[in-house]
């Protein structure tokens, strides 16, 4: 349960859903996409704490430099890096979004850059994952990001929230279809009349 103080300090539900939508779109493209849409939603003095890899950054510029280093490191380390959005969740009247991410990469060596049918070697694929815990101000700015390990609760809540989003999307699609059919019938009536 949330108390009244928490509700008053929480951003609007629409703000949380917008940030979640931006994150869902950017996560699969993390290694190559421009991250400006999410940086625009950050407080200039955002705190970043990486509990998985042991790193901290203060401010958007330091976070941007860190992301550039991460991208360069993984590109140097492996010819194949694929990020994935593995789910997310948030609660109305709360100021947190939790995003589950995954990274598929190869354990690289000199042989990785040659096709396996030539070398006869299979390159082992490595999977990394984590949960980014975003704290959002009442004004809708991201003030803190914590990268941490995923736990069972994260997986359960992300699945429930994903199911909820899917059912809402289906409902909206049906409503849009019904509205379009009604509009088409009305146009046909007018043309016939």
Give the residue extent of every domain in the chain.
Answer: 4-150, 152-193
Q: What is the DSSP letter of 113?
A: G
139-177, pLDDT tens digit by residue?
999 999 999 999 999 999 999 998 888 877 666 666 666
Tell me how crowded residue 57 is: count the other CB atoms within 10 A of its CB.
18
* Kind of pairing between the strands at 96-106 and 125-136: antiparallel
Helix (H, G, I), strand (E, B) or coil at 186: helix
Residues 26-54, mean pLDDT to the nearest whole number: 92
Its pTM stands at 0.76
Q: How confident is the model at residue 81, as a pLDDT?
A: 87
Tell me how crowded residue 173 is: count the other CB atoms within 10 A of its CB.
10
Decide: 106 and 123 in contact? Cβ < 8 Å. yes
Alpha-carbon gap, residue 129 to 11, rounded angstroms? 28
Q: What is the DSSP letter of 107?
A: -
Q: What angle do CA 25, 169, 87 make, to 5 degrees?
A: 45
Decide: 75 and 85 in contact? Cβ < 8 Å. no
Q: For the chain, how far is it from start to end, CA to CA, in angstroms?
A: 57
Q: Which residues contact 20 (CB under 8 A, 6 or more apart)?
A: 88, 90, 97, 99
Which residues, listed in sequence order, are joined to residue 56 by a DSSP beta bridge?
49
Helix (H, G, I), strand (E, B) or coil at 51: coil
12-39, pLDDT tens digit by residue?
888 888 999 999 999 998 888 888 999 9
* Kind of pairing between the strands at 142-148 and 81-90: unpaired
102-121, pLDDT tens digit by residue?
999 887 666 666 776 777 77
pLDDT confidence bin for 122, thresholds 50/70/90: confident
What CATH number labels 4-150?
Answer: 3.10.450.50
Q: How confident is the model at residue 6, as a pLDDT?
A: 47
């Amino acid at each position: 349960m949330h108390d009244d103080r928490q509700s008053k300090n929480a951003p609007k539900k629409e703000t949380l859903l917008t940030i979640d939508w931006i994150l869902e779109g950017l996560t699969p493209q993390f290694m190559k996409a421009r991250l400006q849409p999410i940086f625009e939603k950050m407080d200039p003095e955002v705190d970043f704490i990486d509990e998985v890899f042991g790193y901290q950054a203060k401010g958007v510029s330091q976070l941007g430099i860190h992301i550039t280093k991460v991208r360069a490191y993984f590109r140097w380390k492996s010819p194949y890096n694929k990020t994935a959005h593995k789910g997310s969740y948030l609660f109305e009247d709360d100021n947190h979004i939790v995003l589950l991410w995954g990274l598929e990469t190869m354990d690289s060596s000199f042989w990785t850059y040659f096709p396996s049918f030539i070398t006869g070697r299979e390159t082992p694929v490595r999977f990394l994952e984590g949960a980014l815990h975003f704290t959002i101000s009442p004004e809708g700015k991201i003030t803190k990001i914590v990268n941490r390990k995923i736990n069972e609760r994260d997986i359960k809540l992300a699945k429930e929230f994903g199911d909820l989003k899917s059912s809402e999307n289906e409902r909206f699609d049906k409503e849009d279809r019904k509205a379009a059919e009604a509009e088409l019938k009305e146009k046909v009536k007018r043309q016939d009349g």
